[in-house]
A = this chain, B = another copy of it.
Amino acid sequence: MTVKKDHYLVVSAGTIQGVFPQVPAEFAGLEMLDYTGHLVIPGLTDLHIHGPQYVFRGLSMDRELLDWLNFRTFPEEAKYRDPEYARRAYRLFAQDLRQGGTVNAVVFGTIHKEGTRILMEELEAAGLRAYVGKVNMDRNSPDDYREETEDSAADTRAWIQETAGAFSQVKPILTPRFLPTCSDRLMELLGQLQREFALPVQSHLSENQGEIAWVRELCPQADFYGDGYQRFGLFGGDVPTIMAHCVYSGEEELLRMKERGVYIAHCPQSNTNIASGIAPVRRFLDMGIRVGLGSDVAGGHSASIFRTMAEAVQVSKLRWRLVDQTLRPLTAAEAFYLGTEGGGSFFGRSGSFQKGYAADILVLDESRMPYMEELTVAERLERYLYLCGEKDILHKFVGGRMLF
């Protein structure tokens, strides 16, 4: 993390030109915004969030993953078959996200083609950059929230054709929910769609031990859980891929992810709430695997990536203390990296103030955080991660455009 005090951040054409102690002559004609005394940081990236789960955050938290899915999540997501319901709920979601620090989001929708398009419209209207997925699931799901295999693929194709290129900042991403809810045949069809439309992919991986054992039964041909995705061409390599969680990924799976450039979306709050465990993020970083942060609403109850940063540090301490003292805890600066450039790189040049990056900028509001004496800039940032509420942001820019 590089800290500069009393510098000029120069932006033109929606792009960062650099950070300078004085404004270079070539930029002297640009409009000047004065944020003296404020922390100014790159916009944040949420690599894993479920749009339809936003409205039931903080509910049924006394349940574990598979139980929580069946009791709360699937019945709620089934409601998004109604476009009216989807519109109201997704508007709440997108408008709240707009007010927070997230600039880039990688979002799960539901199985519904129309509902997912509405989600994309609302995110576009909110001014955010996003990949959004229509979820696929053709097995191990309730009767009223499951697709027929061929319909799932056909709907996905139609949805891609409708939405790819339809928005300026929002794009489709292939989204098999996870192997337990996707038959081999469906995965095959999704692999074909991937090759036809060259879409990125998101899914869940090795979140919970019960889930992993189940995948082993369902997909006996796969060498390990992640290999089950790769067999259908949906696991990195030429295919930009995000896998959420990886709490229990083994050595082989991690090596494969590193080799194939698969991103891990680390979701500490969700892994805590649904009692999954604590992912070994230090290990991921040491191995050189790509990692960003995910709020995983509504496994996580907060959509704030600032809070996710603090919690990434917190759970890494508990893991160090309780599980493995060879993996030292994350620092605040490392967590900050994960939530900015770490995840932002999935979107190309976002999450940093290096020249050529998108002008994704947050001007922070510390007025609710009185302190008695002067702090360093790094101290103020650390404190902000811990103390900020979801809306302690003064200004937010996405690609140079001021949202507020």
Interface size class of A (residues with CB under 8 A): 35 or more
Q: Is A331 an interface residue (CB 8 A)?
A: yes
* Residues A57 and B272 in contact in the complex (CB < 8 Å), given A62-B332, A318-B318: no
**Complex Cα spacing A57 to B370, Å:** 10
- Check A385 for interface membership: any CB of B closer than 8 A: yes
Contact of A55 among B57, B274, B320, B370 (CB under 8 A): B370
With a CB–CB cut-off of 8 A, which chain B residues contact A275?
A: 317-318, 320-321, 329
Report A21-61 CB contacts with B as 1/0, cut-off 8 Å.
00000000000000000000000000000000001111111
Q: Does A13 contact B (CB under 8 A)?
A: no
- The reply on A212 being an interface residue by CB < 8 A is no
Closest residue on chain B to residue A372 by CB atoms = B55
Partner of A386, one of B57, B318, B321, B369: B57
A175 interface residue per 8 A CB criterion = no
Point out the residues of chain B lying under 8 angstroms from A61, CB to CB.
313, 332, 382, 386
A55 x B371 contact (CB < 8 A) = yes
- Are A372 and B329 also in contact (CB < 8 A) when A301-B386, A385-B58 are? no
A3 CB–B CB distance under 8 Å:
no
- For this complex, 23 residue pairs linking A to B, each with C-beta atoms less than 8 Å apart, are A55-B372, A56-B371, A57-B386, A58-B382, A58-B383, A58-B386, A59-B379, A60-B382, A62-B332, A88-B372, A272-B315, A272-B317, A273-B314, A275-B317, A275-B321, A276-B321, A278-B318, A301-B386, A302-B386, A302-B387, A318-B318, A322-B322, A389-B389
